[in-house]
Amino acid sequence: MAHGTHFFMNPGPTNIPERILRAMDRGSIDFTGAQFRAISEECFAGLKRIFKTEETVLAYAATGHGAWEAALVNLFSPGDKVLVVESGFFSLNWGMRGEAFGIEVETLANDWRRPCDPARLETRLREDKEHRIKAVLLVHCETSTGVVNPVAALRRAIDAARHPALYLVDTISSLASMDFRMDEWGVDVVVAGSQKGLMLPTGMAFTGISPKALAAAATARLPRVYWDWKRLLGESSQAYWNGTAPVHFFYGLQEALRMLEEEGLDNVFARHHRLAEATRRAVRAWRQNDGPEVYAMDPGAQSNTVTAVLVPEGSDADRVRQTALDRFNVSLGGGLDRLKGRVFRIGHLGDLNEPMLLGTIAAVEMALDLAGVPHGQGAVKAAMEYLTGDP
């Protein structure tokens, strides 16, 4: 039997703040009426500020997988080719979905522990003289590894190769937690979800869409109905919702956007960086005695939303994770795909504070002990020292 607060430290979904829960704790209203229209307009205007775009943002009642699919079916025709920048489980998964629709998917192979080198993307695109590659698909923050890709530098690589490919970026575990700028960074389609930095329940997904992407959608031939951008846009921006609008999600989204803007996005990013850095210092303390280490190797590309922790060869990360849950009521993320049993993941995004993080680090250290994983001591102290240091 579990007692006390359940420490939910997964890298998504994340903790839902009381303010958002209370905002959703209301009755339904007519989704065709003026009251809902005002809420929805406030939400889309706020989303644009979070995406840092002046362009179109569309929403769906869906998980992130829905936004992935919306991007694919609106932009491509059977036989079109796309280039997936490999970063980990989520990048490959997005590409796999393209294949299911008859899109030819090439993978730009990449070490999961490091970000993609822009020079490699530029070289590959220069080789594509006939411009068969219609789009580059990138995951900004690869949630399975905790590695962050350099979105702006990769845009510059596309430009340096003078390649016309569309640039699609999955921001599911970065948006509203780490800096992201759709327009300034030249991103054509942004894929996002509700359940991480936006602190909402799972079930709403978004796409930011550039004029170039809208033009590509006009000639793309993959079948689509629910995801169809043209249908959703109707005569004007956000004119149409497929079916009944999820009014309660909009209540929550309205509150989430207000919270983020009251704090200020730069402060939100700084807060995420601080808790992430404390986590990394804790892992460095465990690293002594050949213990666990941060999976992401490049210090400049370590995520501020999730830290994947690689356990030493011969240790079982799932055992650590299960022990933390069973004994201490702390929920961590598991290893995905080839990282199953090799990493556990600490989510440090959304609504959390220092004591929640320190409690988690203490619980993980106890779980490492109980699971017989060699490790150094003093992770909580290392994190505390950082958190009480000069900002």
Q: Which is nearer to ligand PLP, 56 or 177 (CB)?
A: 177
Min dist CB 333 to ligand PLP, Å, is 9
Task: Report how far residue 250's alpha carbon sits from residue 162's, in angstroms, rounded to the nearest whole number.
Answer: 40
Taken as a whole, the chain contains a residue count of 391
How many amino acids of this chain bind ligand PLP (CB under 6 A)? Answer: 12
User: Taking CB under 6 A as the rule, which mask of x and - marks residues 258-297 in contact with ligand PLP?
Assistant: ----------------------------------------
Binding test (CB under 6 A) with ligand PLP, winner from 40, 56, 143, 145: 143
Q: Is the peptide bond before 13 cis (omega within 30 degrees of 0)?
A: yes
- Kindly give, in sequence order, each residue whose CB lies less than 8 Å from that of residue 206, ignoring residues fewer than 6 positions away: 47, 51, 57, 58, 59, 60, 67, 190, 191, 192, 193, 194
- Please give the distance of CA 133 from its chain centroid, rounded to a whole number: 25
Q: Does 139 bind ligand PLP (CB under 6 A)?
A: yes
Q: Is there binding between residue 70 and ligand PLP (CB under 6 A)?
A: no
Give the residue at shortest CB distance from ligand PLP: 64
| 173 touching ligand PLP, by CB under 6 A | yes
Tokens of 351: 């609504």
Q: Enter the DSSP assignment of 228.
A: -
Work out which of 8, 36, 44, 90 binds ligand PLP, going by CB under 6 A: 90
Q: Is 58 a binder of ligand PLP (CB under 6 A)?
A: no
Shortest distance (Å) from residue 90 CB to ligand PLP: 4
| CA nearest to 349, candidates 264, 274, 244 | 274
Tell whether residue 51 is a contact of ligand PLP (CB under 6 A): no
Residue 64 engages ligand PLP in binding (rule: CB under 6 A): yes
71 or 380: whose CB is closer to ligand PLP?
A: 71
Q: Which CB, 13 or 376, lies closer to ligand PLP? A: 13
Question: Does 56 help bind ligand PLP (rule: CB under 6 A)?
Answer: no
- Please tell me the distance from the alpha carbon of residue 229 to that of residue 234, in angstroms, as a whole number: 8
Of the residues 73, 85, 172, 324, which one makes contact with ligand PLP according to CB under 6 A:
172
Work out the angle between the directed axes of helices 247-263 and 265-287 (0-180°, nearest 10): 80
Spatial CB neighbours of 24, under 8 Å, sequence gap ≥ 6: 248, 249, 251, 252, 255
DSSP 8-state code for residue 164: -
What residues from 193 to 212 belong to the interface with ligand PLP (CB under 6 A)? Answer: 193, 202
Q: Residue 63, interface with ligand PLP (CB under 6 A)?
A: yes
By the rule CB under 6 A, 189 interacts with ligand PLP: no
Question: Beta 293-294 vs 306-310: how paired, if at all?
Answer: antiparallel
* Residues in contact with ligand PLP by the rule CB under 6 A: 12, 63-65, 90, 139, 143, 170, 172-173, 193, 202
